[in-house]
């Protein structure tokens, strides 16, 4: 018998201006002394003041830990635990893109660890179910969906591995999802994070772990993201497009948190870890080729996704709908300026020599095992080689 589980934050505030309600949300949850986890850009640009001002106005004392880095590392998480222990905090607020949110989650998990335990002790297949303090997430991109997931991704600096850490300890208690924070996100980041969201919804939908609950989220996410990604990229001030993308990103997070990601994410993490390619961009580099790889095995689901995304009429046969999906993913990459790994400047020799390790790390994450077509290491290496120079994918 298959048992389906469903997890979600206890409370989500979604909509323009919702950030102003953060103090009331904290009060409702009985929380009064947050440590705000963010990055130097959020502080330097003054963006963090949009979160700190309503807290200060409500008389909520807070401190800021702003040392998070893109692709969060275990060493930054260690420093965050030290900062946490230096004050009398009763919660963490992750403010920013996926990296600050994931750092806040990892700090909460590590702070609850036994003496001597390291963050790597919590990576999958372990289950990270305990957190020292509740985490509230406030995303500023649309996005990783981390505000709604039971996952955090942290790089092990000893091995350059992007560790997937999963469990209730990584599930935020609550989140505030305010699309007005995304108006200043530049087009490149809008594209990368938006394709990441689309990949979450699509992978959750085709995953072996898909279920009726995750399908609802995935379909709603694809319906919002598919017609609005190009609009948000081309017109950053388009409030309707930004709102749709933000809601879609959170829905996509709920989708994969209750299903899983699959081969795209499994292969994407090693590219990010070894070559410091932004997460959404490495997903985008892989999405068409990996979809082509699994298309036949997962055809009914990919075809259904194409229909949900408005790429095929209701009566279109699966084969044609699947082709429409592939062409759309290629068109998105072209129109949103997604480079191949080669055009991104990744050295061919180093890329080639790392392929066996990257394939091993992709498989170890467990994500490829949920793909409609489960690859062997050799097939993963072949896919890495195929995407290196870009170009059209067959099917
Ligand atoms: Fe992702």
Centre of ligand 1 to C-alpha 180, Å, is 22
pTM of this prediction? 0.96
Distance separating alpha carbons of residues 218 and 201, to the nearest angstrom: 5
More confident residue, 36 or 160: 36
Centre of ligand 1 to C-alpha 33, Å, is 30
Rounded mean pLDDT, 97-104: 96
* pLDDT confidence band for 393 (50 / 70 / 90): confident
* pLDDT confidence band for 1 (50 / 70 / 90): low
Distance separating alpha carbons of residues 170 and 175, to the nearest angstrom: 13
Centre of ligand 1 to C-alpha 218, Å, is 14
* pLDDT confidence band for 395 (50 / 70 / 90): low
* pLDDT confidence band for 200 (50 / 70 / 90): very high
Centre of ligand 1 to C-alpha 61, Å, is 33
Centre of ligand 1 to C-alpha 36, Å, is 23
* pLDDT confidence band for 333 (50 / 70 / 90): very high
Centre of ligand 1 to C-alpha 286, Å, is 12
Centre of ligand 1 to C-alpha 199, Å, is 7
Centre of ligand 1 to C-alpha 279, Å, is 7
Centre of ligand 1 to C-alpha 282, Å, is 10
Centre of ligand 1 to C-alpha 114, Å, is 29
In tens, the pLDDT along 34-79 reads: 999 999 999 999 999 999 999 999 999 999 999 999 889 999 999 9
pLDDT value at residue 162? 84
Rounded mean pLDDT, 301-329: 97
Distance separating alpha carbons of residues 301 and 16, to the nearest angstrom: 33
- Residue 35 gets which letter from DSSP? E
Element (H, E) at 193: helix 187-206
Centre of ligand 1 to C-alpha 195, Å, is 9
Tokens coding 254? 């709920």
Distance separating alpha carbons of residues 237 and 252, to the nearest angstrom: 22
Query: What is the percent of the chain with per-residue pLDDT over 70, rounded to a whole number?
Result: 99
Element (H, E) at 11: strand 11-14
Centre of ligand 1 to C-alpha 41, Å, is 21
């Amino acid at each position: 018998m298959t048992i389906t589980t469903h997890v979600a934050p206890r409370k989500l505030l979604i909509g323009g201006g919702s950030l102003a309600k953060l103090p009331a949300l904290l009060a409702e949850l009985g929380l009064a002394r947050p440590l705000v986890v963010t990055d130097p850009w959020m502080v330097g640009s003054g963006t963090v003041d949009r979160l700190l001002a309503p807290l200060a106005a409500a008389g909520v004392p807070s401190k800021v830990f702003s040392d998070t880095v893109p692709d969060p590392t275990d060493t930054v998480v260690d420093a965050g635990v030290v900062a946490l222990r230096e004050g009398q905090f009763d919660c963490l607020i992750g403010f920013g893109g996926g990296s600050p949110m994931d750092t806040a989650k990892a700090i909460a998990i590590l702070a609850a660890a036994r003496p001597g335990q390291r963050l790597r002790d919590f990576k999958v297949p372990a289950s990270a179910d305990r957190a020292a303090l509740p985490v509230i997430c406030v995303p500023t991109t649309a996005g990783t969906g981390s505000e709604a997931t039971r996952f955090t991704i942290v790089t092990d600096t000893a091995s350059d591995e992007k560790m997937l850490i999963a469990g209730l300890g990584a599930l935020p208690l609550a989140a505030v999802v305010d699309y007005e924070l995304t108006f200043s996100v530049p087009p490149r980041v809008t594209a990368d994070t938006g394709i990441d969201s689309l990949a979450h919804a699509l992978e959750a939908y085709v995953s072996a772990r898909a279920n009726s609950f995750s399908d609802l989220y995935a379909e709603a996410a694809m319906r919002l993201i598919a017609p609005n990604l190009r609009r948000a990229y081309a017109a950053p001030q388009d409030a309707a497009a930004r709102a749709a993308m933000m809601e879609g990103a959170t829905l996509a997070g709920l989708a994969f948190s209750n299903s899983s990601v699959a081969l795209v994410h499994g292969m994407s993490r090693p590219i990010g870890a070894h070559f410091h390619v932004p997460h959404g961009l490495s997903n985008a580099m892989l999405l068409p080729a990996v979809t082509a790889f699994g298309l036949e095995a997962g055809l009914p689901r990919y075809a259904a996704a194409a229909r949900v995304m408005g790429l095929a009429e209701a009566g279109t046969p699966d084969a044609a709908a699947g082709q429409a999906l592939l062409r759309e993913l290629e068109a998105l990459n072209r129109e949103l300026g997604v480079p191949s790994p080669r055009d991104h400047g990744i050295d061919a020799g180093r890329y080639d020599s790392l392929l066996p390790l990257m394939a091993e790390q992709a498989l170890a994450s467990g994500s490829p095992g949920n793909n409609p077509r489960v690859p062997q290491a050799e097939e993963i290496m072949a896919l890495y080689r195929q995407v290196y120079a870009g170009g059209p994918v067959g099917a």
